[in-house]
């Protein structure tokens, strides 16, 4: 297929995606103009750059940077959609969503009749809530239960400090055996008692209904004996509860077992740590197409996965007619009078349809170091980020050639508007055979929040 037609078709597809994404997500976080504000948090654990800022449960902003502000805590710089009005009585609070404790920042707007705060103003913050607070309360309850269990355990010892559990269990076995013998021998009598209770209940219902127009004192005189029996039952129930508190019976021992309490607490902590790691994974997707001044079209797809803010993996596919290259040597014989032999070194370009990127990187503040496969050949890369300006620059060294030298690429990516960016790259800048060139591209770059907004629209 003609490379020019392929490039034009790709640009048309990208333009359609841009128009569609901007139109259907015009009210989503990640699209629109923003105003920058600041706040200070005493505890910023679980909060990262690009974490969402919500108003009434809806994304309305995002965190730009987190830095240590001396002994005061963490200084958070965040941006809100320009249409959101923050005033002097607006407040920021850390919240958790769901049982797993995924954290985000919530803004209480306050009085909307007050004057809007200027850019870079400080917003006061309040303490967090959600599952984390519930976990603390659960921890306090478990601590109290543990103390009760220790008390019950000590009460089960006799004057000599010997554990009386075995003796109690033996007594329970004797009591249950005796109870079984009594119930078996008096089964008919027990059935008669049940029938008598049923008859009493029916008579009580009849009397209360028949005499509902009589005086209140007459009714109370009839119900009085029944209430006396109820007092006896309540007293028995109090005795059972007291036995549980003293650790008597299987249920009482279970409540006071130190090992059970510790295992439950450790299990909840492990699950919470595992889920927090999964929730903190972020992704960044880029798709661009353009042309090289020497070889023609250049189309790229990159996926950056951040399992942690300081580590990332880069996966990608590239299609172009530039490298990887191989070298071969051939002999050309000329029919001159001297019978001279001429050796010609040729350089063969592998015009494969697809080349792959797989790199492991580490982020150190604004620097990014990575190594691995760059366009199906081994190489290394260095990046530098300007997050306030939406610019990233980088250098890549790969495709090492004996006679032509390695491919040194310098590149700059500039955010033009929202998800639209432009990319300029210098290719093969230290080539020995004079094959230096430049590539100019346009593309789209989506964060995981932008993708969640798009997927939510299509899932409806």
Give the range among 246-255, 265-274, 305-314, 388-397 with minimum mean pLDDT: 246-255
319, β-bridge pairs = 299
Query: Helix 258-279 vs helix 131-155: angle between axes, to the nearest 10 degrees?
Result: 170
pLDDT at 254: 55
Give domain limits for the chain. Answer: 32-128, 134-271, 281-458
Residue 88 has pLDDT above 60, yes or no: yes
Q: What is the pTM of this model?
A: 0.41
Band (pLDDT 50/70/90 cuts) for residue 453 is low
Residue 94 has pLDDT above 60, yes or no: yes
pLDDT at 26: 42
Average pLDDT over residues 450-455: 66
Model pLDDT for residues 276-306, shown as the tens digit of each residue: 666 667 888 899 999 988 878 889 999 988 8
Give the range among 147-156, 220-229, 248-257, 325-334 with minimum mean pLDDT: 325-334
Q: Which fold has domain 32-128?
A: Elongation Factor Tu (Ef-tu); domain 3 (2.40.30)
pLDDT at 25: 45
pLDDT at 411: 94
Residue 155 has pLDDT above 50, yes or no: yes
Contacts for 233 with CB less than 8 Å, ≥ 6 apart = none
Residue 365 has pLDDT above 60, yes or no: yes
Model pLDDT for residues 7-23, shown as the tens digit of each residue: 777 778 878 776 666 55
Model pLDDT for residues 163-203, shown as the tens digit of each residue: 667 777 877 888 888 777 777 777 777 788 888 888 888 77
Contact (CB, 8 A) for 64 and 36 = yes
In this structure, whether the domain defined by 281-458 belongs to CATH 2.40.160 is answered with yes
Top pLDDT among 188 and 271 is at: 188
Residue 455 has pLDDT above 70, yes or no: no
Band (pLDDT 50/70/90 cuts) for residue 357 is very high
Half-sphere exposure of 423 toward its Cβ, with a 13 Å CA cutoff? 25
Model pLDDT for residues 419-444, shown as the tens digit of each residue: 899 999 998 888 777 778 899 999 99
330, β-bridge pairs = 344
Residue 215 has pLDDT above 60, yes or no: no
Domains 32-128 and 281-458 share a fold: no
Cα gap 51→281, rounded to integer Å = 11
Band (pLDDT 50/70/90 cuts) for residue 101 is low
Looking at every residue in the chain, the average pLDDT score rounds to 75
Residue 30 has pLDDT above 50, yes or no: no
């Amino acid at each position: 297929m003609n490379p020019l037609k392929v490039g034009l078709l790709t640009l048309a597809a990208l333009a359609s995606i841009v128009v569609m994404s901007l139109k259907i997500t015009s009210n989503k976080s990640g699209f629109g103009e923003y105003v920058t504000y600041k706040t200070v948090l005493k505890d910023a654990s679980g909060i990262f750059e690009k974490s969402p800022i919500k108003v009434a449960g809806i994304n309305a902003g995002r965190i730009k940077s987190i830095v240590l502000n001396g002994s005061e805590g963490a200084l958070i710089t965040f941006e809100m959609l320009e249409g959101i009005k923050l005033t002097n009585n607006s407040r920021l609070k850390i919240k958790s969503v769901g049982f797993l404790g995924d954290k985000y920042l919530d803004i209480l707007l306050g009085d909307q009749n007050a004057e809007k705060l200027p850019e870079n103003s400080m917003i006061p913050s309040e303490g967090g809530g959600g599952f984390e607070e519930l976990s603390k309360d659960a921890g306090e309850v478990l601590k109290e239960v543990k103390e009760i269990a220790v008390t019950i355990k000590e009460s089960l010892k006799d004057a000599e400090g010997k554990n009386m559990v075995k003796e109690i269990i033996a007594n329970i076995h004797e009591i249950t055996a005796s109870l079984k013998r009594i119930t078996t021998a008096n089964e008919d009598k027990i059935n008669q008692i049940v029938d008598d209770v049923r008859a009493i209940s029916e008579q009580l219902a009849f009397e209360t209904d028949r005499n509902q127009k009589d005086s209140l004192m007459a009714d109370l005189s009839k119900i009085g004996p029944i209430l006396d029996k109820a007092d006896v039952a309540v007293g028995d129930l109090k005795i059972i509860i007291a036995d549980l508190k003293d650790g008597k019976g299987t249920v009482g021992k279970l409540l006071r077992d130190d090992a059970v309490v510790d295992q439950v607490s450790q299990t909840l902590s492990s699950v919470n740590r595992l889920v927090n790691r999964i929730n903190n994974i972020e992704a960044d997707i880029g798709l661009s197409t353009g042309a090289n001044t020497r070889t023609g079209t250049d189309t790229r797809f990159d996926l950056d996965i951040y399992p942690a803010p300081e580590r990332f993996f880069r996966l990608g596919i590239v299609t172009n007619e530039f490298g990887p290259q191989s070298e071969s040597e051939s002999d050309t014989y000329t029919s001159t009078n001297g019978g001279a032999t001429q050796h010609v070194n040729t350089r063969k370009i592998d015009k494969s349809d697809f080349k792959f990127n797989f790199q492991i990187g580490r982020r150190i503040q604004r620097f990014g170091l990575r190594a691995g496969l760059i366009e199906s050949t081994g190489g290394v890369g260095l990046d530098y980020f300007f997050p306030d300006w939406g610019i990233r620059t980088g250098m890549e060294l790969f495709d090492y050639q004996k006679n032509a030298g390695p491919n040194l690429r310098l590149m700059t990516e500039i955010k033009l508007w929202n998800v639209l960016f432009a990319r300029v790259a210098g290719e093969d800048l230290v080539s020995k055979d004079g094959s230096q060139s430049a590539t100019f591209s346009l593309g789209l770059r989506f964060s995981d929040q932008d993708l969640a907004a798009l997927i939510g629209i299509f899932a409806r």
